[in-house]
Chains A and B, each alone.
Chain A
Amino acid sequence: MTTERPPSQGRRLVALPATVWAAVALPFISIVLALLVGSIVILASEVIVPGHPFDVTLPVTAYAALFEGAFGGLDPIVNTIRAATPLVLAGLAVGLAFKAGLFNIGAQGQFLLGALGSVTVGVALNQASPFIAIPAALLAGMLAGAAWGFIPGFLKAISGAHEVVTTIMLNYVAVSVIAWAVSGPLDQPGSPSPITAQVGNAALPVIIGRNGHLGVLVALAAVLAVGWLLFRTTRGFEIRTVGANPDAARYAGMQPRLIVVLTMSLAGVLAGLAGATVVLGVTHYMMASFGTTVGFDSIAVALLGRSSPVGIVFAAILFGAMRAGAPLMQIQTGSLIPAELVDVLQATILLFLAAHEVIRHILKLRGVKAGLETTDTIARTYGRESV
């Protein structure tokens, strides 16, 4: 990446150096720079917080613990996979929408509704055969998520209401729907705080290590399915065309409205599935306040993975690893480093990705074209009437 290459003229179908640059080098450099910024934050916080001896090696200790907690053995690796699973699915939900030029901030709400749908059916079928209970609970999660994705898609198709606004609002509605459902109809009488019953036989079976559940296979299947949809089917081509240029799509006889509704509903299916894997695979019950940030983190995952299904897998593993390693980092640094460092790292990675022009300038890589495709897509279509 240090070699100067002639500027590629326009967008070629196979422009390997530029593609490699954008897909691998840029995220990699962003991660390295974010770790550097994180080190500075750690050292600065040591200066600010009194009462502790200044330890120059603390960033190394912290990152080593973060790494050990994420990859240092079978259990940590399983933890990483467990944390990455919902991020892959919700990341696909955001990434797929990006491909259609839609900014799906509603993955959070779709995730929550999916969790609610699957916990409802899971609790109802917790004595049934797992062969019935698990597919039924997963399906319920997908349908509930799909409904929550359909609404903003439908609103956009009929009235042009921007999905950024409607999905943000629906996120809040979802939080309240869950609080109502879990403290009302689903609440276990006698519980000190609102909580649903266990999903029992609807729980996803453990397939790797101590607690690696079946959800990881669900996520991988979804990656293949989305990849196939986007790049091997006519619908996928339509989705990408609507995202690239809705006017041209309409001119070519496609129906952007239909594609928008379809894409948002599919995104809802994926995010709903993410919620389903968490309640059926990890918690096995639901509290009135789920308090998750998976839906928001997935936006970062989709950006880092450049909306490509494979890229999203790697981005989700990175973010999942940071979440899995965070407890050990807090333990081994004597709590000098709070878990929020992970948020700092995530945000900084994203910042460098979005500001890729800056990196290119700093590293004197002016010749290389093509940056973060998705942010360019958003930049091009943001606030514009696409249907």
Chain B
Amino acid sequence: MRKQRWLGASAALVTLTLVLAACSSGASPSASAAGSSESAPASVPVTAHSDLKIGVVTDVGTANDKNFNEYTYVGTKQGAAAIGAAEPPVTVPKDSSEFASSIQAYVDDGYDIIVTAGFSLGVATTQAAHDNPDVWFIGVDQGPPCVNAEGLPDTTFACAGDAATLLPHFVALSYQEDQAGYLAGMAAASASKSGTIGAILGISLCGPCIRYTQGFKLGAESINPDIKLVVNWVTESDFVKAFNDPVSGKSYGDQFLQQNPDVDVLFQVAGKTGNGVLDAACEAGIYGIGVDVDQSLSYPNAAKCTITSAMKSLALAVSTDIGKIVDGSMKGGDDHWDASRDGIAYGPFHDLASAFPANMADLLDAAFAKMKAGTLVTCPEKCGDLSTLK
């Protein structure tokens, strides 16, 4: 009898453990690792010549995702260091109902500049900017901002209000992802021998991911009009799985490549989940292309097969804007970063230049120059619309 009860108890405990493990998937025990990649101490600096307090709220997941969250944070730290402010802390909300309270915690603690990372925080950031007109907000991937005539977030998306005048302290960053994707697409088509390339998105609900891939398709077709592009996404519903689950990314990538054995260059548009996609590409002996940042550096595990990355200058944009806020030249509203401002780029080839024809860099630089001049179409008419990729 006694023994049976223990047996039952352990069965229940196992179940509990499984449940708890399921609840905390994607959680990392040391999210502070990102904070340590730069050596400045976390305590209050002794020789600060700016007493501005700057803080970061990321999207759900972890701060050290080797990708979007992390480089937004890196940019904030660079911006803070450049003006001699204290090293900014970063907070990671647990779910979407905590976006507003995570931002509010900084406001209540007297912070002057609050950086929020990701389009999911757009509504909460706009609302906070409306409620706290003296605080500066930088919303990454949140441009152009959409407000009604009172400067409140407009979820009917009529966007009747002028955010730049109604919310003069809200800077909403946007990037021309399709331009970066275009360059990556050119590289992919050039490196592909089979004429079939792939792209794996984190989620079908991500505008920037879709624009990356639309540009990727056009860029690839500019090199090889007959190129075949296979597009898939890891999930249609779960942001954690989409951007913070490299284990899922790896198994998804494995299956994708089994189903599409002709694919010999694979573009990941899935954040940290995509790091697993790159692992799958390396394991299959094909080339991978990173996203957002130079992933040969940010994710060295897959550097041996990462031929380039579709980059947007997360760190540059955030640190530049912090500097402009301090010198008084920053204006609110949409802050768009495209090729003309060096807001996008292709990643260096590192040791894998042999994957490309010898004139690859020249081709890419020429396309980049055309983008700067505004003479190159990098996104189809329905830009940001998934139906163009199906």
Using a CB–CB cutoff of 8 Å, the interface residues on chain A facing chain B are 41, 45, 48-53, 69, 75, 79, 82-83, 103, 105, 164, 175-176, 178-180, 183, 188-198, 278, 282-283, 285, 287-294, 296-297, 299-300, 303, 323-324, 326-328, 330-340, 343-344, 347, 350, 354, 375-376, 378-380, 382-383
Q: Are B42 and A193 neighbours in the complex by a CB distance under 8 Å? A: no
- Whether B263 sits at the interface, judged by CB under 8 Å, is no
Given A178-B237, A354-B13, 13 additional A-B pairs, CB 8 A: A49-B36, A83-B101, A180-B237, A192-B122, A193-B120, A193-B205, A197-B155, A294-B95, A331-B105, A338-B62, A340-B29, A344-B29, A376-B5
- A–B pairs, 26, beta carbons within 8 Å: A49-B36, A51-B41, A82-B101, A103-B15, A183-B205, A183-B236, A188-B157, A190-B159, A192-B384, A283-B96, A283-B97, A283-B100, A285-B123, A289-B240, A291-B96, A294-B95, A299-B16, A327-B91, A334-B35, A334-B42, A338-B28, A340-B27, A354-B9, A354-B16, A379-B6, A383-B11
Closest to A297 in B: B23
A290 contacts across to B, CB distance below 8 A: 95-97
Docked pose: A176 CA to B203 CA in angstroms: 12
**Contact A335:B91 (CB < 8 A) given known A52-B41, A327-B101:** yes
Using a CB–CB cutoff of 8 Å, the interface residues on chain B facing chain A are 5-6, 8-9, 11-13, 15-16, 19-20, 22-24, 27-33, 35-36, 38-39, 41-43, 55, 60, 62-63, 87, 89-98, 100-102, 105-106, 108-109, 119-120, 122-123, 155-159, 203-207, 236-240, 242, 384
Choose among B32, B106, B122, B206 the residue that contacts A337 (Cβ–Cβ < 8 A).
Answer: B32
A178 contacts across to B, CB distance below 8 A: 237
What 7 A-B pairs have minimum CB-CB distances, sorted nearest first? A179-B237, A334-B42, A190-B157, A338-B31, A327-B105, A296-B23, A379-B8
A293 contacts across to B, CB distance below 8 A: 23-24, 94-95
**Contact A291:B90 (CB < 8 A) given known A179-B237, A379-B5:** no
Q: Are B96 and A330 neighbours in the complex by a CB distance under 8 Å? A: no
Choose among A282, A283, A350 the residue that contacts B16 (Cβ–Cβ < 8 A).
Answer: A350
- Which residue of A82, A330, A336, A350 has the most chain B CB atoms within 10 A of its CB atom? A330
B22 contacts across to A, CB distance below 8 A: 296
B207 contacts across to A, CB distance below 8 A: 192-193
Q: Are B32 and A45 neighbours in the complex by a CB distance under 8 Å? A: yes
A49 contacts across to B, CB distance below 8 A: 30, 32-33, 35-36
Question: Nearest chain B CB to A126's CB is how many angstroms away?
Answer: 10
B89 contacts across to A, CB distance below 8 A: 330-335
Question: Nearest chain B CB to A199's CB is how many angstroms away?
Answer: 10
**Contact A191:B157 (CB < 8 A) given known A289-B203, A292-B95:** yes
Question: Nearest chain A CB to B94's CB is how many angstroms away?
Answer: 6
Docked pose: A354 CA to B8 CA in angstroms: 12
Docked pose: A338 CA to B42 CA in angstroms: 13
Choose among B13, B42, B238 the residue that contacts A52 (Cβ–Cβ < 8 A).
Answer: B42
A292 contacts across to B, CB distance below 8 A: 95-97
Docked pose: A75 CA to B100 CA in angstroms: 13
Question: Nearest chain A CB to B54's CB is how many angstroms away?
Answer: 11
Choose among A287, A300, A337, A343 the residue that contacts B120 (Cβ–Cβ < 8 A).
Answer: A287
**Contact A296:B97 (CB < 8 A) given known A193-B119, A193-B206:** no
Closest to B27 in A: A340
Closest to B235 in A: A179
Q: Are B63 and A338 neighbours in the complex by a CB distance under 8 Å? A: yes
B9 contacts across to A, CB distance below 8 A: 354, 375-376, 379
Docked pose: A189 CA to B385 CA in angstroms: 12
Q: Are B105 and A328 neighbours in the complex by a CB distance under 8 Å? A: yes
Q: Are A288 and B28 neighbours in the complex by a CB distance under 8 Å? A: no
Docked pose: A105 CA to B23 CA in angstroms: 11
B28 contacts across to A, CB distance below 8 A: 338, 340
Question: Nearest chain A CB to B15's CB is how many angstroms away?
Answer: 6
A180 contacts across to B, CB distance below 8 A: 236-237
Q: Are B20 and A175 neighbours in the complex by a CB distance under 8 Å? A: no
- Which residue of A183, A190, A289 has the most chain B CB atoms within 10 A of its CB atom? A289
Docked pose: A375 CA to B6 CA in angstroms: 11
Q: Are B101 and A189 neighbours in the complex by a CB distance under 8 Å? A: no
Docked pose: A332 CA to B108 CA in angstroms: 12
Docked pose: A21 CA to B106 CA in angstroms: 40
- Which residue of B60, B63, B95 has the most chain A CB atoms within 10 A of its CB atom? B95
- Which residue of A105, A195, A331, A344 has the most chain B CB atoms within 10 A of its CB atom? A331
- Which residue of B20, B32, B238 has the most chain A CB atoms within 10 A of its CB atom? B32
Docked pose: A347 CA to B19 CA in angstroms: 11
Question: Nearest chain A CB to B295's CB is how many angstroms away?
Answer: 23
Docked pose: A282 CA to B238 CA in angstroms: 21
Choose among A285, A289, A300 the residue that contacts B205 (Cβ–Cβ < 8 A).
Answer: A289
B29 contacts across to A, CB distance below 8 A: 41, 45, 338, 340, 344
Closest to A195 in B: B155
Docked pose: A49 CA to B31 CA in angstroms: 10
Choose among A75, A189, A296, A376 the residue that contacts B20 (Cβ–Cβ < 8 A).
Answer: A296
Choose among A52, A53, A378 the residue that contacts B12 (Cβ–Cβ < 8 A).
Answer: A378
- Which residue of A53, A79, A195 has the most chain B CB atoms within 10 A of its CB atom? A195
Choose among B93, B94, B109 the residue that contacts A331 (Cβ–Cβ < 8 A).
Answer: B109
A48 contacts across to B, CB distance below 8 A: 30
Q: Are A331 and B91 neighbours in the complex by a CB distance under 8 Å? A: yes
Q: Are A327 and B102 neighbours in the complex by a CB distance under 8 Å? A: yes
Closest to B206 in A: A193
Choose among A164, A285, A303 the residue that contacts B155 (Cβ–Cβ < 8 A).
Answer: A285
Docked pose: A41 CA to B24 CA in angstroms: 17
Q: Are A164 and B15 neighbours in the complex by a CB distance under 8 Å? A: yes
Docked pose: A189 CA to B206 CA in angstroms: 15
A343 contacts across to B, CB distance below 8 A: 23-24, 27
Docked pose: A175 CA to B239 CA in angstroms: 11
Question: Nearest chain A CB to B245's CB is how many angstroms away?
Answer: 12
Choose among A296, A333, A376 the residue that contacts B19 (Cβ–Cβ < 8 A).
Answer: A296
Choose among A164, A297, A336 the residue that contacts B32 (Cβ–Cβ < 8 A).
Answer: A336
Question: Nearest chain A CB to B312's CB is how many angstroms away?
Answer: 16
Question: Nearest chain A CB to B1's CB is how many angstroms away?
Answer: 11
Question: Nearest chain A CB to B71's CB is how many angstroms away?
Answer: 15
Q: Are A375 and B35 neighbours in the complex by a CB distance under 8 Å? A: no
B106 contacts across to A, CB distance below 8 A: 327, 331
Closest to A177 in B: B237
A183 contacts across to B, CB distance below 8 A: 204-205, 236
B159 contacts across to A, CB distance below 8 A: 190
Question: Nearest chain A CB to B24's CB is how many angstroms away?
Answer: 5
**Contact A335:B155 (CB < 8 A) given known A178-B237, A287-B96, A354-B13:** no
